[in-house]
Each structure stands twice: as C-alpha cells, then as structure tokens.
C-alpha cells in the first residue's frame, strides 16, 4: 500500500527513527511526535529534509494536536514509551504514567475514527517465565510490586490489555508487536541497554562489564528486521486483534556476547562480572533465558529475521567509532 499517512509516536527514538526512515523510503508521509526525553532529533538527521516528514517535539500526554494527527493518519505506530532497566529504576513514576496514560490517550484518539494502531510492546511482559521458546499465549510471571524492576513489564502488559480491549469493545484495529532485544545503530547504553554499553566499553579499552554470572541468554534482533516485521504486520489484515513476537529466535549467552563484541571491535578489554545488586538495586531479579517462538509471525506474513548477530554488531561498532564519550 503506497502513499499512506502515518503517525509514529516516539519517532525520534531508536526503533522509531528507523521505522520513520523505512516508511519514508517506502513512499509514505510520516508525522512524528516525540518529547525527546530518550529520543534525539539527530536520529532523524538523514531524513530531516524530506517534504513528507513532519516533526512535533511534544509529549503524547500533553500535545494538543494529537487528536488531529491521529485523525489524519491511516496507521498509527505507537512507540512512545519509557524504556531501559536503569531508566525504569530511576524514574518509576514517569515509566508507569508515560506507558499507560500515553497508550490510553492514543487509543482514545484512534477510537473516534477507527484508526489502525500498532502498539510496540516487549518481551518483558513474559516476566520471569523462562520457557524456551516463549509463545504469544504463554503466561506472564511477574515479580512483586515491591520490586520496581517489574513496573515496566506490568505497564506494557496493561498497554496490551488496553489495546485488545479497544479492539474488542470499540472496534479499533489494533496490532501488538512484542520486540525481543532489538539492537542497532542509535541505540544508547545510558539506560541499561547491553549491546551499546559493551561496544562503547570495548572501543574505549575499558572493562566490559557483564551483570550477574553472564550465563543468562537472550535472542537479539536487528532493528532493520524489527522494522520490516512491524510494517509488514501493519499492512496485513490478518494481524488485527493479534499479538506477535518479533525476534530472531537465535540464542546467545551474555558472556558469549561480550566476547563477540570484544573480538569484532579488535579490543583488548577485560571482561568482568558485576553483581546485579551493585549494578541496579538490592534483590534485582533477571531472567536466565528469553527466546521467542516466531512461528506465528512467520505464518502470518512469511517473515524470518535476515540480519545475523555479527552483522548487527559490526554496524553498531561502526556507528560508535569516533563518537565522543559514552551515551
């Protein structure tokens, strides 16, 4: 479908900026709303001159034009959210309010004209469920409310409940995408993202700090694949009212990841282990394994991840070479 009007909330963020570029490249018009709390205007530098791009630097909680922007859009891609473990621990109130109230406002706006909304969710909603691989209808197992670490997972689960409720009760065409550890250029390590942190430490010759024992494993997805899946799902009517894991299904331990980053960066950095209690907060809980079952995604839009981990890491290393200081 060519020539759509689209709205990307959080469009100056890591995934949002790549999504914005891809939509523009496909010939669509894009309106971006971002309060630049974690996104950056420079993320859109490559497309800033496009006549089909409009940027609104405002919070979705406060932007008076949100209803108008939603009304003008054929598809709303809702990516605005507080993200990253460290940010969640540092600003729990903002995390909960931004994620839940922001999603509610977008859905209420979309309900007026029945606009399609693609809600960006996360593998965090599975909580402590370490079944391998995780399927979309598997249980979310969350820790206690006394651990703020779980507020993000809970807020994104509420986002999903809200989206599905708006679909069932108000007829809003909603698609939910659960991203699994998406990585790529422009992702920053400031809020706890592991790959950019490892890359910056390796390039600076500093110790590469692995939290915990490093035997925990994850499945990393290149942002180009995540964006391709997101757009594909947004254009397929069979995806409406459904939840999809978006990931690669390939598993690697964090120790192996640290060694891979060091080798590809040509670094001599030492790999050191830091207890979770020292890295985050007392009693911090992490998952031993988190790997998606991507059968539903493949069967719906014939999607499979194409970018291998080494290629992703080389792109990220190239992005950070020559950039001053950590971010």
Longest CA span, the chain: 57
Residues of the domain holding 298: 5-183+223-249+291-306
Catalytic residues, by residue number, are: 152
Which helix H or strand E contains 307, and what residues bound it? none
- pLDDT, tens only, 215-224: 999 999 999 9
What's the rounded Cα separation, in Å, for the pair 202 and 208?
A: 6
- The residue count of the chain comes to 327
Structural domains counted in the chain: 1
**pLDDT above 90 covers what percent of the chain?**
81
* Residue 300 located in a structural domain: yes
SS3 235: coil
- Cβ-proximal residues to 217 (8 Å cutoff; 6+ apart), any chain: 251, 252, 253, 254, 288, 289, 290, 291
* Residue 38 located in a structural domain: yes
Cβ distance 136 to 157 under 8 Å? Answer: no
* Residue 203 located in a structural domain: no
* Residue 88 located in a structural domain: yes
* Residue 205 located in a structural domain: no
What CATH number does the domain containing 31 carry?
Answer: 3.40.50.720
The candidate with the shortest Cα–Cα distance to 10, out of 159, 137, 112, 150, is 159
Paired strand residues for 218: 252, 290
* Residue 277 located in a structural domain: no
* Residue 209 located in a structural domain: no
- Cβ-proximal residues to 35 (8 Å cutoff; 6+ apart), any chain: 57, 58, 59, 60, 80
- pLDDT, tens only, 69-117: 999 999 999 999 877 666 777 888 888 888 999 999 999 999 999 999 9
CA atoms within 13 A on the CB side of 38: 26
* Residue 254 located in a structural domain: no
């Amino acid at each position: 479908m060519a020539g759509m009007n689209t709205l990307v909330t959080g469009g100056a963020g890591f995934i949002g900026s790549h999504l914005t570029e891809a939509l523009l490249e496909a010939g669509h018009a894009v309106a971006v709303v971002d309060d630049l709390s974690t996104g950056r205007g420079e993320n859109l530098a490559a497309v800033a001159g496009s006549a089909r791009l409009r940027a609104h630097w405002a919070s979705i909680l406060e932007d008076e034009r949100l209803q108008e922007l939603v009304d003008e859009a054929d598809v709303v891609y809702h990516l605005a959210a507080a993200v990253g473990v460290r940010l969640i621990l540092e600003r729990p109130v903002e995390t909960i309010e931004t994620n839940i109230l922001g999603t509610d406002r977008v859905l209420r706006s979309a309900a007026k004209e029945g606009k399609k909304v693609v809600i960006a969710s996360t593998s965090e909603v599975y909580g402590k469920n370490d079944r391998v691989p995780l399927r979309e209808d598997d249980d979310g197992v969350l820790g206690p409310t006394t651990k703020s670490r779980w507020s993000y997972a809970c807020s994104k689960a509420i986002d999903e409940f809200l989206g599905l409720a708006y679909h069932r009760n108000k007829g809003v065409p909603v698609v939910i995408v659960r991203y699994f550890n998406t990585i790529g250029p422009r992702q920053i390590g400031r809020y706890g993202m592991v790959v950019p942190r490892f890359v910056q430490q390796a390039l600076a010759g500093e110790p590469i700090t692995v939290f915990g024992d490093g035997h925990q494993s994850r499945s990393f997805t290149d942002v180009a694949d995540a964006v391709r899946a997101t757009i594909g799902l947004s254009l397929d009517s069979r995806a409406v009212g459904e939840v999809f894991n978006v990931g690669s299904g390939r598993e690697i331990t964090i120790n192996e990841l640290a060694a891979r980053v060091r080798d590809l960066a040509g670094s001599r950095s030492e790999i050191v282990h830091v207890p979770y209690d020292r890295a985050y907060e007392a009693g911090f809980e992490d998952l031993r394994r988190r790997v998606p079952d991507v059968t539903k995604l493949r069967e719906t839009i014939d999607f499979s991840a194409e970018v291998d981990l080494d290629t992703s890491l080389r792109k990220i290393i190239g992005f950070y070479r020559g950039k001053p200081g950590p971010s």
